[in-house]
Chain A
Amino acid sequence: MATPTKIDEFKNGNHNGETPIPKYTSRDFSSDQDVRWCPGCGDYTILKQVQNVMPDIGVLKKDIVFISGIGCAARFPYYMDTFGMHSIHGRAPAIATGLKVSRPELSVWIITGDGDSLSIGANHFVQLLRRNVNVNLLLFNNQIYGLTKGQYSPTAPEGTISKSTPFGSIDHPFNPLSLSMGADGTFIARAMDRDPKHLQKMLLRASQHKGTSMLEILQNCIVFNDGAFELFTDKKSRPRKTIYLEDGEPMVFGSDNEKGIRLDGLTPEVVELGDTYSKDDLWVHDEKDTTKANLLARFFEHPAKGDHLTFPRPFGVLYAVDRPAYDEGVAIQNAEARKRSEPDLDALLQGPETWEVT
């Protein structure tokens, strides 16, 4: 039992199942604000899918909080009829950490972009993952700075021509999933704006995971970086250029599921299914396997650079393991401290040694 305080009365949520969840619809999560992204922006569909999923996450509306930093994506909280904070550039993970640690019963969602999370806020991003704070982070990756009108971002492939790199960028880009693996993230997944059904599934999975759920969403910036992910999102090329991961299932892809990924030791290779290899020879996806998740995260050639794609880009949950969440640990430690000694302010003020003046 933590130290009782005045905010306890606001905690009568469904945390322990005491309040039934009303039958929400996605409209219940739509605020009265006009959505003001560019027409055709990938953010619209992400917003829609998040609103679609919210009725199913099993949380009262009053207990949901969206926190964003700065960027196009960061406008997101204004459009959600939940609690929300549009904060400052890169700091949403730190703000969310403070909120979640002090109010663990809340469902906290971080909305961020590639610039927000991987450039100005990269430190907070990795710290959040290593601490494993029980929040959901949606990383809208469009490989460009949209709000500042078209500079290259930390996920933009080398050679990107942008307003600030007229001769091509020299920076080597971050691979967000590898970075998350390196930070010991416990839930690492990828989705895209153009596959709403899969995106919904991933959002739901993210909400169910205890610990930091890092969901990268490839999102098309129609104005400054249109078509950056077309190879993956286009219905024609998608089957050949992507692979949808299913836990416990062999890694099959292709228009007719004619291809698969096989492991030769720890070296992955793309094979044609047929006479030489059957499904039984393929790598079976295991979300809990750290080594293999690291391999999968490395399927990361950049089509925009003109690379030939050796491997399809993986979508789905690459990695999901259990590790105690930071906020849980804090709650336990605080409760134990409370058990050990009653808070006696007078004793504290008095201190270890006193003397009388008469």
Chain B
Amino acid sequence: MKTENHVREEVTIRFAGDSGDGMQLTGLLFTNTTALLGNDLRTLPEFPAEIRAPAGTVPGVSSFQLHFGSTEIMTPGDVCDVLVVMNSAALKANLSLLKKGGVIIVNTDGFDQKNRNLAKYPEGVNPLEDGSLSSYTVFEVDVSSMTKEALSETDLSYKDVNRCKNMFVLGLLYWMYNRPMEPTIKFLNKKFGKDPTIAEANVKVLKTGYHFGDTAGIFTSRYTVKEADLEPGTYRNITGNESTVLGLVAATKKSQLPLFFGSYPITPASDILHGLSRYKNFGVTTFQAEDEIAAVSSAIGAAFGGSIGVTSSSGPGIALKGEAMGLAVMLELPLVVLNVQRAGPSTGMPTKTEQADLLQAMYGRNGESPLVIVAPRSPADCFNMAFEACRIALEHMIPVMYLSDGYLANGSEPWKFPQEKDLKDIKVRFELPRENSEEPFLPYLRDENHVRSWAIPGTQGIEHRVGGLEKEDETGNVSYDPDNHEKMVKLREAKRDKVADFIPLQEIDQGNSSGEVLVVGWGSTYGSIRTAVGQLRKEGMDISHAHLNYISPFPRNLEELMRRFDSVIVPEINNGQLVRLIRDKFLIPAKPVNKIKGRPFGVQELKDAILNITSGKQEAAES
């Protein structure tokens, strides 16, 4: 059969299988190859919280979605064009995410009676045979047998052979989308360097899959996705957690300070601990503490000693750190708290994304406890904002909360990475040693930005005490004076608010600088909002998009910018949090768009929601 070559502007592929089937690796390798070809892309890995949920069941399904194209790609795609399913459960769990008329590549071995039972298809029902997939193009491929056959001459165990299955699928997809195998072969040889038989087996199966596409005669189409029109430069692919790590390391280098990272493992933040622990040569010390409280407390101890104190967690852990964060507010020490948000409350859905910790960051401590809040907008932006979090904490002697989330943490995108020389130096003001000074040292004396100096142990002549008790202005001595307390509360707030003079003014991301509708987002919704607003603008709507990286304090011009529009819409992956802050602070009747399903916004659903609001359908429905 003749295969036709088609050119596609963008494609979304979703790999789905059992958590033991290696779908994350398959997706990652396809992503890396695709990145090297110069496509723009976004990824969305989705995996169960269980390490190995019962094999073959729906809860055990692990998926990886990749959206790539020759145009700007800002989301992992609402629905996929191609769904690869390794077993019945994968089909059951993911079919709703495949667009009508889409392609399903099926590993037939995963659809035997046993697998169908595990996926809880009713007795006697086989989705491959009952016509339920008739609106899709289904390619049935016996991946398991062909993998076995390809490796029949090796003496690998059944288990090892079975583990190569994912490479067959990857090879087939490479053929289908005209991608080279070399980067993957290089990777496999490196990964299994110590075990060349395994490396060879994987490479062999990869090639078998590729050639199967060529020779099987069942595939009528191949696709080409041309290079995207990315800004010229050198790129790499990066996930949010990886770029967070690099942002912290860069801050260490540009401040010439040691970084102390106290952390306790928690999904989806642990990769930051893993990543940083490899960079001790940069002056990074990582400390896996006994609990979340010890993690933040150790970081405060290190900050007292002159290190960049950083701690990381996700919602439940942040809740535990609350009291210590209050201490850092009171001590006025630099502290960076990384919150890689996940769906809550309580343990919630650890592997699912959410933006529901914003109000916790803002208000989740006892007393008047203002700190700075920043939020990255994309996986690569995690680098910028992690660096910014350190800069603000150090230059303003204040705790900074950094709000990433599971979607940013695990998602990836091409990154035109900076060079060291492009990064700004971070300047800190240490209190200097004194020789026999009669002047008493005043640890809470402030500069014009209300910032005190960093007075670290080891400095001659400035021995002093700090603590969580309310302190007298300037001297830092314990004080229960009513006027002093009010003064200090206001001072700590003024210090936080003053940070607004040292962050960029809010910009309009796209659209006119005034008009009918302004969509205001923050954090990981950037890609979805950008794409949705872009499409609505093409469709003729007067709509603009502004995306916040700085939430506490807000950029100085935010109010004025919002007031240039007739209406403001705030989409969030929560039940409405930024929208409350905006209404509270500016008395602007901003309207929320909320999704609380553990997944990012789809572009279409966001467009629909915006149109609903602008057409007045939802006028009175909310709050």
Interface residues of A (CB under 8 A from B): 2-7, 10-11, 13, 31, 33, 60-65, 67, 77-78, 80-88, 91, 93-103, 105-106, 123-124, 127, 330, 333-334, 337-338, 340-343, 345-346, 348-351, 353-358
- Tell me the complex Cα distance, A8–B212, Å: 62
Residues on the A chain within 8 Å of B418, using CB: 349
B236 beta carbon closer than 8 Å to chain A: yes
State which of B183, B256, B280 has its C-beta within 8 Å of the C-beta of A337. B280
Can you show 12 pairs from A to B with CB atoms below 8 A apart?
A: A7-B257, A61-B463, A62-B458, A63-B458, A65-B457, A97-B287, A124-B297, A330-B285, A346-B420, A351-B236, A353-B183, A354-B235
B300 beta carbon closer than 8 Å to chain A: yes
Residues on the B chain within 8 Å of A61, using CB: 463
Closest B residue by C-beta to A78: B465
Q: Are A338 and B294 in contact (CB under 8 A)?
A: no
| Least distance between A116 CB and chain B CB atoms (Å) | 13
With A78-B478, A349-B246, A351-B238 already in contact, the answer to whether A84 and B285 are too (CB < 8 A) is no
Q: Are A345 and B281 in contact (CB under 8 A)?
A: no
Closest A residue by C-beta to B466: A85
| Least distance between A117 CB and chain B CB atoms (Å) | 13
- Tell me the complex Cα distance, A93–B301, Å: 10
Would you list which residues of chain B between 429 and 448 have a CB under 8 Å from chain A? 430, 433
Q: Are A98 and B463 in contact (CB under 8 A)?
A: no
With A77-B467, A86-B467 already in contact, the answer to whether A355 and B256 are too (CB < 8 A) is no
Residues on the B chain within 8 Å of A340, using CB: 281
Indicate with 1 or 0, residue by residue over B25-55, a CB within 8 angstroms of chain A CB atoms.
Answer: 0000000100111100000000000000000
Q: Are A88 and B323 in contact (CB under 8 A)?
A: yes
Residues on the B chain within 8 Å of A357, using CB: 38, 227, 230-235, 416
With A67-B301, A78-B465, A343-B281 already in contact, the answer to whether A11 and B458 are too (CB < 8 A) is yes
Closest B residue by C-beta to A93: B294
Residues on the A chain within 8 Å of B304, using CB: 65, 85, 95, 98-99
Q: Which of B142-150, B305-313, B367-375 contacts A (4 or more CB under 8 A)?
A: B305-313
Residues on the A chain within 8 Å of B297, using CB: 87-88, 91, 94-95, 98, 124
Residues on the A chain within 8 Å of B433, using CB: 10, 62
Query: Which of the listed residues A99, A334, A341, A353 has the most CB atoms from chain B within 10 Å of its own CB?
Result: A99
With A86-B467, A97-B301, A103-B458 already in contact, the answer to whether A356 and B234 are too (CB < 8 A) is yes
Q: Are B260 and A102 in contact (CB under 8 A)?
A: yes
State which of B281, B283, B477 has its C-beta within 8 Å of the C-beta of A5. B283
Query: Which of the listed residues A31, A97, A127 has the most CB atoms from chain B within 10 Å of its own CB?
Result: A97
Residues on the A chain within 8 Å of B462, using CB: 62
Residues on the B chain within 8 Å of A4, using CB: 256
Residues on the B chain within 8 Å of A346, using CB: 419-420
- Tell me the complex Cα distance, A355–B228, Å: 13
Residues on the A chain within 8 Å of B230, using CB: 357
State which of A10, A78, A86, A127 has its C-beta within 8 Å of the C-beta of B290. A127
- Tell me the complex Cα distance, A127–B237, Å: 39
Q: Are B324 and A91 in contact (CB under 8 A)?
A: yes
State which of B35, B262, B461, B466 has its C-beta within 8 Å of the C-beta of A62. B461
- Tell me the complex Cα distance, A338–B281, Å: 4
Q: Are B235 and A355 in contact (CB under 8 A)?
A: yes
Closest A residue by C-beta to B253: A345
B582 beta carbon closer than 8 Å to chain A: no
Residues on the B chain within 8 Å of A62, using CB: 433, 457-463
State which of B293, B306, B460 has its C-beta within 8 Å of the C-beta of A103. B306
| Least distance between B32 CB and chain A CB atoms (Å) | 7
With A7-B306, A345-B249, A353-B36 already in contact, the answer to whether A83 and B301 are too (CB < 8 A) is no
Indicate with 1 or 0, residue by residue over B242-281, a CB within 8 angstroms of chain A CB atoms.
Answer: 0000100110010111101010000000000000000111
With A345-B250, A357-B232 already in contact, the answer to whether A31 and B294 are too (CB < 8 A) is no
B581 beta carbon closer than 8 Å to chain A: no
- Tell me the complex Cα distance, A330–B460, Å: 26
Residues on the B chain within 8 Å of A95, using CB: 297-298, 300-301, 304
Residues on the A chain within 8 Å of B537, using CB: none
- Tell me the complex Cα distance, A86–B467, Å: 4
Residues on the A chain within 8 Å of B233, using CB: 356-357
Closest A residue by C-beta to B459: A10
With A98-B300, A330-B285 already in contact, the answer to whether A88 and B234 are too (CB < 8 A) is no
| Least distance between B114 CB and chain A CB atoms (Å) | 40
Interface residues of B (CB under 8 A from A): 32, 35-38, 183, 227, 230-238, 246, 249-250, 253, 255-258, 260, 262, 279-283, 285, 287, 289-291, 293-295, 297-307, 309, 323-324, 327, 331, 416-420, 428, 430, 433, 456-469, 477-478
| Least distance between A170 CB and chain B CB atoms (Å) | 27
State which of A65, A85, A102 has its C-beta within 8 Å of the C-beta of B331. A85
Closest A residue by C-beta to B423: A345
| Least distance between B277 CB and chain A CB atoms (Å) | 10
Closest B residue by C-beta to A60: B460
Q: Are A31 and B465 in contact (CB under 8 A)?
A: yes
Closest A residue by C-beta to B230: A357
| Least distance between A357 CB and chain B CB atoms (Å) | 5
State which of A6, A10, A106, A349 has its C-beta within 8 Å of the C-beta of B256. A6
Q: Are B282 and A343 in contact (CB under 8 A)?
A: yes
Q: Are A101 and B281 in contact (CB under 8 A)?
A: no
Beyond known contacts A63-B457, A99-B305, A357-B234: 19 more, CB 8 A cutoff: A3-B283, A6-B428, A10-B433, A62-B459, A67-B301, A86-B465, A87-B468, A88-B324, A99-B457, A100-B301, A103-B307, A123-B294, A124-B297, A333-B280, A334-B281, A340-B281, A345-B250, A345-B253, A354-B235
With A102-B285, A338-B281 already in contact, the answer to whether A85 and B298 are too (CB < 8 A) is no
State which of B287, B303, B420 has its C-beta within 8 Å of the C-beta of A349. B420
4 A-B pairs with least C-beta separation = A98-B301, A86-B467, A98-B298, A3-B283
- Tell me the complex Cα distance, A106–B257, Å: 17
- Tell me the complex Cα distance, A7–B430, Å: 9
- Tell me the complex Cα distance, A343–B298, Å: 24
- Tell me the complex Cα distance, A283–B238, Å: 65
Residues on the B chain within 8 Å of A350, using CB: 234, 236, 417
- Tell me the complex Cα distance, A3–B307, Å: 13
Q: Are A98 and B280 in contact (CB under 8 A)?
A: no
Closest B residue by C-beta to A32: B440
| Least distance between A66 CB and chain B CB atoms (Å) | 8
With A84-B465, A355-B235 already in contact, the answer to whether A5 and B294 are too (CB < 8 A) is no
- Tell me the complex Cα distance, A155–B419, Å: 57
Q: Are B456 and A91 in contact (CB under 8 A)?
A: no
- Tell me the complex Cα distance, A66–B281, Å: 30
- Tell me the complex Cα distance, A87–B467, Å: 5
Q: Are B38 and A355 in contact (CB under 8 A)?
A: yes
State which of B238, B294, B456 has its C-beta within 8 Å of the C-beta of A97. B294
- Tell me the complex Cα distance, A345–B417, Å: 11
Closest A residue by C-beta to B228: A357
Residues on the A chain within 8 Å of B246, using CB: 348-349
Q: Are B260 and A343 in contact (CB under 8 A)?
A: no
With A97-B294, A127-B290 already in contact, the answer to whether A103 and B257 are too (CB < 8 A) is no
Q: Are B302 and A101 in contact (CB under 8 A)?
A: yes
- Tell me the complex Cα distance, A130–B365, Å: 31
Q: Are A13 and B458 in contact (CB under 8 A)?
A: yes
Residues on the B chain within 8 Å of A5, using CB: 256-258, 283
Residues on the B chain within 8 Å of A94, using CB: 289-290, 293-295, 297-298, 301
Residues on the A chain within 8 Å of B457, using CB: 10, 62-65, 83, 99, 103, 106
Residues on the B chain within 8 Å of A124, using CB: 290, 293-294, 297
Query: Which of the listed residues B295, B307, B461 has the most CB atoms from chain A within 10 Å of its own CB?
Result: B307
| Least distance between B462 CB and chain A CB atoms (Å) | 8
- Tell me the complex Cα distance, A78–B476, Å: 11
Query: Which of the listed residues A4, A78, A87 has the most CB atoms from chain B within 10 Å of its own CB?
Result: A87
